[in-house]
């Protein structure tokens, strides 16, 4: 296969990449309270039923339901109060027919009781007796043992991205540690003789600071990966070949950001092609901005060559690298994109045969949301900070007309 | 004002809280590369124009545009090649009329040049001369000094939540440090005699593990705050009063999670009412689940009393505490909710006079998205882990009918 001119639509490019790389599988134990935004490495089963004791769900009286049958406001059932179930304590009270015990929401239901009469359906008669004004059915206002989760039941599947409530669910079972997938290590390498470190204060004309490594590092963190910013490599075959091979040996994903000139892009492509088998999967993605993007697989590891332009690099990182990181994590429920429906403020033309990703600001006019395209010559920094997200003009649409509804996906 | 029965719709409760507390204002300097998801404490201005030198935007030839006027494929302009602008280096070549210099995308435009002819519009004639087949206008294929951002222009406003591209924009100017708002400290305190630490392996009947502190800690992190899990306080007036006052003295926000019984909730309300002025703002929010929620302001600090039920606590934390944290941060562009339109799979009844927040799973049927309500008796853990998010039945709607479109907001 020629390493050039193998241009794919973005969805096809991604699908091709995912077919060539497998989830990492490696896991580690972490404290559950620190497992937010990690991904489970195995299904998690309930070590005990939840609740593991019968709980009342109302403030009121624990009763034998049969004692209340037929009770009404005009013909109340009279029960003797023989004790109180204290919160956090085992119910020790023994309930014989005709007896009731005070119970609070969440309290342990006494063994002989089978229902709770809510306090608003009762009438006290001194401290020792209570009138029940409404009958309760067996099990009413009670959560049974294991009703929330049976012992051995699956709390969470494998490959589950842990949200705040999942942390809570695991801790409810006392699971203080949890096996999670090791974060994929994403090596970020920049090349291009015009690039200098962002920490460099004074620049010569012709030099620009390398920002793609840092925006990609931030996107990697959001995607659940572990970024490794390796810095800038000179635009020389041997240096780049050596740096790329060394980075790939230690990482799970290699992302090369390739400078803006055509010559360095071509060299990057040849370096990627030489890293190993099966090699380059696509060279060029039918998307703007971001067409000159390369995807390769090398011994089951994904390698991406992104364009040097910051907007292009970010767009393609979101389109291809983020879902690849999710795939390596084996994640079944990656965070959904933040998106909003809005009407486009002006006509935007598009070339057929490629997806156009148009940066846009969301503005509110008379309570309606509008997407205002943000154009900058050659996709400048300006575009990145002024826009809220992007909308897509599909592969073979000719463009959008002012007033059309579009889905704006917020930048991550 | 009575501390009881001051029930407010959620939007009104939030508005009332925000009127009583002010953005913190305190800032700190952090490395820009570590400032993801922080909020700017001041506007950030451009220390130099960007770009600070004129750049070509195409591979081709730097020229004096006047030399190309009238050029066409049939009548090309002939120019002498007098040098090459190397990437990353100042253009030292002196360009006289009738001369051109090789330039690469992003290269420094020589002083005497004012446009770039793309390579595809040229025809080489040996190494020393080139035919220009198409004229270029003054400034064509050139980014002028400051065209992306003028010196002194605002890169980012104050109160801006920093996204990956914002990190890139700041680093493009060599701004290695950035003033951000100090994270609001959110003290999380649980009370209820039934609660034990999640790390406790063996429970007695009547005991449950305290999970709200940990789900709220995770939600606090997501909201840009700094959580402080203070653990469980015994359900006793003095202990709770002392712990709450001590926590509030050190924190910017106090969140009490109040156990499930009515008596402990009442005591929590009295403790909150005694913390200081102006005191309780609302007692009860017209929302289900989560009605028994308290909001107070004490010396400009927000205090929340959340219900003990985990689903209720999470729902109200999202509705009230998260936007309060954003307000304390002075954040103008908090992360948008992740949400999706879907059709509800079944009828759901609702009581007028309150907002019903219905937990739901998103399922795909024949390519269409449906919201399947997840019901659990008393909002159990099951509901939390099985649902993807919630949709709202508004205050005075009677419910929703199967097939209605709803907006499901994903759990954060």
Candidates B37, B47, B188, B206, partner chain A, best to mutate (most A CBs within 10 A): B206
List the pLDDT tens digit at each of the 412 positions of chain A.
445 567 899 999 999 999 999 999 889 999 999 999 999 999 999 999 999 999 999 999 999 999 999 999 999 999 999 999 999 999 999 999 999 999 999 999 999 999 999 999 999 998 899 999 999 999 999 999 999 999 999 999 999 999 999 999 999 999 999 999 999 999 999 999 999 999 998 999 999 999 999 999 999 999 999 999 999 998 889 999 999 999 999 999 999 998 767 777 889 999 999 999 999 999 999 998 888 899 999 999 999 999 988 889 999 999 999 999 999 999 999 988 888 999 999 999 988 889 999 999 999 998 899 999 998 665 577 788 889 999 999 988 889 999 999 999 998 6
CB contact under 8 A, B206 and A91: yes
Going A153 to A157 to A163 to A167, the CA torsion angle's sign is positive
Band of the pLDDT at B5, cuts 50, 70, 90?
A: low
| Residue owning tokens 């339109």 | B341
Looking at the partner chain, which of B108, B216, B340 has a beta carbon nearest the beta carbon of A336? Answer: B340
**CA atoms of B64 and B55, how far apart (whole Å):** 15
CB contact under 8 A, A385 and B165: yes
Band of the pLDDT at B1, cuts 50, 70, 90?
A: very low
**CA atoms of B28 and B36, how far apart (whole Å):** 14
As for the ipTM of the complex, it is: 0.93
Q: Enter the pTM of the model.
A: 0.94
**CA atoms of A70 and B37, how far apart (whole Å):** 61
CB contact under 8 A, B204 and A168: no
3-state helix vs strand vs coil in chain B, percent to 5: 25, 35, 45
Quote the radius of gyration of chain A (alpha carbons, Å): 31
How far, rounded to the nearest angstrom, does the alpha carbon of residue A95 sit from its chain's CA centroid? 50
Short-list A349, A359, A345, A342, CA closest to A399: A349
Whether B204 shows a pLDDT value over 70: the answer reads yes
Looking at the partner chain, which of A107, A192, A201 has a beta carbon nearest the beta carbon of B87? Answer: A192
Decide if B377 contacts A147 (C-beta within 8 A).
Answer: yes
Tokens at residue A2, please?
Answer: 């020629």
CB contact under 8 A, B53 and A194: no
Chain B residues with CB under 8 Å of A57 CB are: 377-378
Chain B residues with CB under 8 Å of A412 CB are: 163-164
pLDDT tens-digit readout, B47-88: 999 999 999 999 999 999 999 999 999 999 999 999 999 999
CB contact under 8 A, A385 and B155: yes
Short-list A107, A411, A15, CA closest to B167: A411
Please list the residues that pair with B353 across neighbouring strands. none
Domains of chain B, each with CATH number or no CATH: 10-25+182-328 (3.40.980.10), 27-47+150-181 (3.90.105.10), 55-143 (2.170.190.11), 339-410 (2.40.340.10)
CB contact under 8 A, B261 and A105: yes
- Interface residue A310 vs chain B (CB under 8 A): yes
CB contact under 8 A, B147 and A377: yes
**CA atoms of B6 and B12, how far apart (whole Å):** 12
Chain B residues with CB under 8 Å of A148 CB are: 376, 380-382
Chain A residues with CB under 8 Å of B59 CB are: 261-262
- Interface residue B203 vs chain A (CB under 8 A): yes
| Residue owning tokens 């003033």 | B179
- The interface residues of chain B toward chain A in range 128-147, judged by CB-CB distance below 8 A, are 143, 147
How many pairs of residues across A and B have Cβ atoms under 8 Å apart? 283
């Amino acid at each position: 296969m020629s390493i050039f001119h193998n241009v794919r639509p973005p969805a096809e490019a991604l699908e091709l990449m995912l077919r060539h790389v497998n989830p990492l599988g490696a896991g580690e134990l972490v404290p559950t309270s620190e497992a937010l935004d990690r991904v489970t490495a195995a299904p998690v089963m309930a070590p005990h039923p939840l609740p593991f004791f019968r709980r009342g769900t109302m403030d009121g009286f624990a009763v034998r339901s049969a004692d209340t049958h037929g009770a009404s406001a005009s013909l109340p059932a009279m029960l003797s109060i023989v004790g109180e179930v204290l919160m956090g304590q085992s119910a020790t009270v023994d309930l014989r027919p005709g007896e009731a015990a005070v119970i609070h929401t969440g309290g342990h239901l006494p063994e002989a009781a089978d229902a709770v009469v809510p306090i608003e359906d009762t009438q006290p008669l001194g401290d020792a007796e209570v009138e029940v004004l409404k009958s309760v059915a067996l099990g009413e206002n009670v959560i049974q043992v294991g009703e929330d989760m049976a012992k051995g039941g699956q709390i969470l599947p494998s490959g589950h991205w842990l949200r705040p409530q999942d942390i809570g669910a695991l801790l409810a079972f006392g699971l203080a540690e949890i096996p999670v997938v090791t974060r994929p290590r994403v090596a970020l390498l920049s090349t291009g003789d015009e690039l200098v470190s962002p920490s460099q204060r004074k620049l010569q004309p012709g030099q620009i600071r390398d920002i793609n490594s840092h925006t990609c590092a931030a996107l990697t963190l959001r995607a659940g990966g572990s970024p490794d910013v390796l810095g800038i490599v000179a635009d020389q075959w041997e240096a780049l070949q050596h740096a790329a091979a060394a980075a790939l040996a230690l990482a799970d994903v290699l992302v090369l950001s390739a400078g803006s000139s055509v010559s360095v892009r071509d060299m990057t492509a040849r370096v990627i092609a030489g890293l190993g088998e099966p090699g380059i999967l696509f060279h060029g993605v039918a998307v703007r901005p971001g067409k000159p993007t390369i995807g390769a697989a090398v011994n089951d590891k994904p390698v991406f060559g992104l364009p040097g332009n910051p907007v292009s690099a970010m767009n393609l990182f979101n389109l291809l690298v983020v879902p690849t990181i999710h795939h390596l994590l084996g994640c079944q429920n990656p965070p959904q994109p933040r998106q909003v429906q809005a009407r486009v403020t002006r006509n935007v033309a598009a070339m057929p045969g490629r997806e156009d990703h148009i940066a846009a600001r969301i503005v509110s006019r008379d309570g309606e949301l509008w997407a205002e395209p943000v154009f900058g010559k050659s996709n400048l920094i300006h575009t990145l900070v002024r826009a809220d997200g992007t909308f897509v003009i599909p592969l073979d649409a000719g463009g959008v007309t002012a007033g059309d509804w579009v889905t704006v996906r917020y930048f991550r």
